[in-house]
Structure 1
């Protein structure tokens, strides 16, 4: 039987369309105002994801799921801290981040993660992480490199993006254990694959919203 992670990645690949925002950023074609949009959108997204992971830890407190989701919540808190350096570099302080009006379609991704946190299975969230980690990490690595190379930002300023560019193998191993335990306990494999595909699509929609209207 095909491994479920491979199955999910195959489904995701069928709908892959590239990343227009990363392409534009690498070409130096993203105006500085859009970089402030990026900071504002990520401020909302990461804060929401932190709460979603904490909720999952409360719903699934036993090991290994509780360990995974608590670690992910702590990781989002660190990412939020690092985001402050990027925001400062593009001229946004705490007040500006709090006042920023988010793009609805950009926030569909964290909204869906909240739905998974409330109604989804532990295996669905674990599979979403495992199936999307390479694509997501690659995007963040591209964004970090472009911000430094094209926009002259410091390594500290792009620390948020570098943080998400690589996921420790130990964390992925725990996610795999959560996935296997959830499926062995009767959680729906088809629903987990479906959730992983939607997570990928909505992460793409986040970047597309930031690129909308640019050449």
Structure 2
């Protein structure tokens, strides 16, 4: 690490400052606001379950690949934890799917939309091409925004739709920060920066992942128009 190389904490602070405009657009996203008002049809919620099935199953493979790439290092443990978290989330997604009226076994037949699928496609790209720092910085920046919106979705489903705990467990899971996640991510980033990882590339990874996160929510909001017209 050169004297000009930031620490992990400094790099993450820089990234969060640069991503503040996207963070603002994600916070209180129109889709979440429409859901809180009780105006999202069941068909759109089914669509949400289908999109998330594709995302979660793909991300789990991506994290498992990263764990294999990094062998027995601390980074491998970090990515393995992420893969295991996706497995837990996938189980919870079944509860949400059942609540919407879907058979969870049918989720694999869902045809994903490009705008919603771009996020997980980029995660797969990172799994093949990104450094440990790229991935850890991107997810340290991204998961806070995703978690906040999941908390809003959980509250909306309970309040406006009368959903029970099993139905919203998927969203509750992501809304609750995993113990030690931030500290572990910072350790992985620091180690990779010391090994020569590029801070600029890590910033790019975070910027792109957050943009694809916004694209997911924007796609879900646009789907409301088509689902409403079909009713």
Distance between the aligned counterparts of 1:94 and 1:135, measured in 2?
26
**Partners of 2:22 and 2:214 within 8 A in 1:** no
In structure 2, the residue corresponding to 1:3 is in which secondary structure?
Answer: helix
What is aligned with 1:5? 12
What is aligned with 1:207? 217
Q: Normalising by structure 2, what TM-score?
A: 0.89
Between stretches 124-133 and 71-80, larger displacement belongs to 124-133
Distance between the aligned counterparts of 1:190 and 1:14, measured in 2?
19
More helix by share: 2
Question: For residues 50-69 of structure 1, what are the structure 2 equivalents within 5 Å?
Answer: 50-69=60-79
What is aligned with 1:47? 57
Distance between the aligned counterparts of 1:121 and 1:213, measured in 2?
34
Distance between the aligned counterparts of 1:67 and 1:58, measured in 2?
10
* Root-mean-square deviation (Å): 1.4
**Partners of 1:6 and 1:131 within 8 A in 2:** no
C-alpha distance after superposition, 1:146-193 (max 9, x if no partner): 111111110111001110112224122111100110111001101101
What is aligned with 2:21? 14
**Superposed displacement of residue 64, structure 1:** 1.1
The structure 1 residue matched to 2:191, chosen from 178, 181, 190, is 181
Q: Give the length in aligned residue pairs.
A: 215
In structure 2, the residue corresponding to 1:132 is in which secondary structure?
Answer: helix
- Name the CA shift for 1:213/1:45 in 2 (closer, same or farther; >3 Å): closer
Distance between the aligned counterparts of 1:41 and 1:112, measured in 2?
15
Structure 2 unmatched runs, 5+: 1-5, 226-231
Structure 1 unmatched runs, 5+: none
Distance between the aligned counterparts of 2:10 and 2:200, measured in 1?
12
**Superposed displacement of residue 213, structure 1:** 4.8
The structure 2 residue matched to 1:142, chosen from 143, 152, 155, is 152
Which structure: larger Rg?
2
In structure 1, the residue corresponding to 2:116 is in which secondary structure?
Answer: coil
Q: Normalising by structure 1, what TM-score?
A: 0.95
What is aligned with 1:34? 44
C-alpha distance after superposition, 1:38-93 (max 9, x if no partner): 00000000000000000000111232101100010010011001100000000111
